[in-house]
Each structure stands twice: as C-alpha cells, then as structure tokens.
C-alpha cells in the first residue's frame, strides 16, 4: 500500500480502517495481537472444551455473553444484536424456545418469515411439520425439547446464512448448547449439519448415522422444509427419528 499523499486520502484510510476494525469486532475479534486475548474455558461433561479458544475470539462483548449462567442471561447479553448485517432486516431476533433442561435439542438453519414475525423458531409450515415429528412421532410436547437455529436473525429471501453471519452467531448457539446440555442433538438440514460438524460431506451421506458434537450425540436428518418439497423422503427422517427414540429409551446400550 502506498503512503497517503494528502489529508483527504489519509482521512479515507482512517475511515476504512475504523470500519474494518468495527467489522472485526462485530464478529468477535477484539484483539490485534492474539497474545493479548484472555484464555477462558467451558468444559463439557466429558472433559472436552466446547468453547475452545479465547474469549476474544468468541465474544465481541465478552464477559456478559460468555459468563451467562442461564438462557435468560444469555438472551439478555445478546441484547439488540448488531454484530452482523442480518440485524437490519429483522423484525425479531429468534433466540430459541423450550425446556432449558431438555434431553433433546433440535437445531435448524435460521428463522424464516413466520419465525421472524413471531420471534419463535419453527412456527411456519416447516415448523408445523417439525411439531408433528416431536408430538405425533416422538410422543413429546414441543415444550419438552429445546429448539434453536444456527443464526438468530432471518437471512433476506431465506438465503443461506453467510460465513460472517455464522461466525457472529455460532458462539451463542454453542453457549445455548452448553447451558441446555442435551443428551442428543437432532441437526435439521444440510446447513445446520455441515456447520455443526464442520463438514462438507453431503447430508444424504451424513443423515441417519450418529455423530459427536463435542461429546454430545448428534443425529443429522433432513430439514422439514425439504420434506415439504420431497414428501417421499419422510420415511427416511422417520428412520432417523426412530434411532433417536431408541437411544433415548436406552435400547441401543
Ligand atoms: N427453518 C429453520 O431452519 N429454522 C426455523 O426456525 C424455521 C425454518
């Protein structure tokens, strides 16, 4: 980069640098020098460090989010979030819903139009199908399980969340999982599955098999929205759900 030749150029450069640092801060990078970051741990029951890394890497507003001891405290710490660009199009931030001590947690991609309007995950047509899976298929009430998404604000036109949006929001999902500590996660659809498993393997290959998310059993399956378009694959999801029911009943021991 050349040295700025006049005051205007210098001002432009300072503005761009400030914007860049603000963007970095919004995705959780508060330190120019990694050595200055504060080392912190959240250790799962099996000894694995769920939030490995540094506080500075994970939380732009650090301690309040990081130290939250309940889902309510976490929600409060997230606040009127503007850590990524999705805030500008949202009606509601869709945090999550259900039993804070649920044994079973469902994780989807991100809110759609209905969820954005109502502030609750999986309440539209796909949500109705998920509710049927939970209630009619598994015999639970919706309030027995916990439901969340990878990103908490609706991506425009329901596009996939972009990497910076996931980077901003994923720490909150990790913290939600850490607070609920479910025995089993059902990851819904390609996006949630590939994000949680950090994998590019197609969902058709991942679904139906047990995986581990930091020591928590994870079952990938198709997204209910996909099932609305491909009802013929409902039987595959039912096979996956039956495996989860067996596991929860201790029948796989
Ligand atoms: N699709 C998702 O992935 N999540 C929702 O909450 C609704 C639709």
Give 48-59 pLDDT, tens digit per residue: 545 444 444 444
Q: What is the CA(140)–ligand 1 centre distance, in A? A: 19
pLDDT tens for residues 148-207? 999 999 999 999 999 999 999 999 999 999 999 999 999 999 999 999 999 999 999 999
Contact 133, 224 (CB under 8 A): yes
As a whole number, mean pLDDT of residues 111-127 equals 98
Tell me, what's the pLDDT at 52? Answer: 43
Average pLDDT, the chain: 84
Query: Among 80, 83, 106, which Cα is nearest to 93's?
Result: 80
CA of 91 to the centre of ligand 1 (A): 15
In the chain, beta strands by DSSP E:
97-98, 104-108, 146-149, 184-188, 211-213, 216-221
Using the atom order of ligand 1, give the atom closest to the CA of residue 149: 4
Q: Largest Cα–Cα distance in the chain?
A: 74
Residue 28 has pLDDT above 50, yes or no: no
Query: Is pLDDT of 116 > 60?
Result: yes
What are the phi and psi torsion angles at 89 (to 5°)? -105, 0
Q: Which domains does the chain have, with CATH numbers?
A: 3-248 (3.40.470.10)
In a mutational test of the pocket of ligand 1, which residue from 126, 142, 155, 159 has the highest number of ligand atoms less than 8 Å from its CB? 126
Q: Which of 145, 146, 149, 226 to mutate to test the pocket of ligand 1 (most atoms within 8 A of CB)?
A: 149
How large a percentage of the chain has pLDDT more than 90? Answer: 72
Q: Given this model, what pLDDT does residue 242 score?
A: 98
Pocket flag, ligand 1, residue 161 (CB < 6 Å): no
The closest alpha carbon to 213, from 200, 201, 196, belongs to 196
């Amino acid at each position: 980069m050349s040295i700025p030749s006049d005051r205007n150029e210098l001002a432009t450069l300072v503005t761009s640098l400030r914007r860049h640092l603000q963007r970095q801060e919004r995705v959780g990078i508060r330190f120019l020098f990694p050595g200055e970051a504060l080392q912190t741990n959240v250790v799962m029951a099996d000894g694995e460090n769920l939030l490995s890394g540094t506080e500075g890497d994970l939380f732009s507003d650090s301690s309040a989010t990081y130290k939250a001891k309940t889902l309510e405290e976490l929600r409060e710490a997230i606040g009127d979030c503007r850590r990524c660009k999705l805030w500008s199009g949202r009606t509601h931030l869709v945090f999550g819903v259900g039993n804070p001590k649920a044994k079973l947690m469902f994780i989807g991609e991100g809110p759609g139009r209905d969820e954005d309007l109502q502030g609750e995950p999986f309440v539209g047509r796909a949500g109705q199908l998920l509710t049927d899976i939970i209630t009619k298929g598994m015999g639970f009430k919706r309030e027995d399980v916990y439901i969340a998404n990878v990103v908490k604000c609706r991506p425009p036109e329901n596009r996939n969340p972009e990497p910076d949006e996931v980077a901003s929001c994923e720490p909150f999902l990790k913290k939600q999982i850490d607070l609920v500590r479910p025995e089993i996660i059902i990851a819904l659809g390609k996006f949630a599955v590939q994000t949680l498993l950090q994998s590019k393997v197609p969902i058709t290959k991942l679904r139906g098999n047990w995986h581990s998310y930091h020591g928590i059993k994870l079952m990938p399956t198709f997204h209910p929205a996909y099932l609305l378009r491909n009802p013929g694959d409902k039987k595959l999801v039912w096979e996956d759900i039956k495996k989860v029911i067996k596991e929860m009943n201790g029948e796989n021991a």
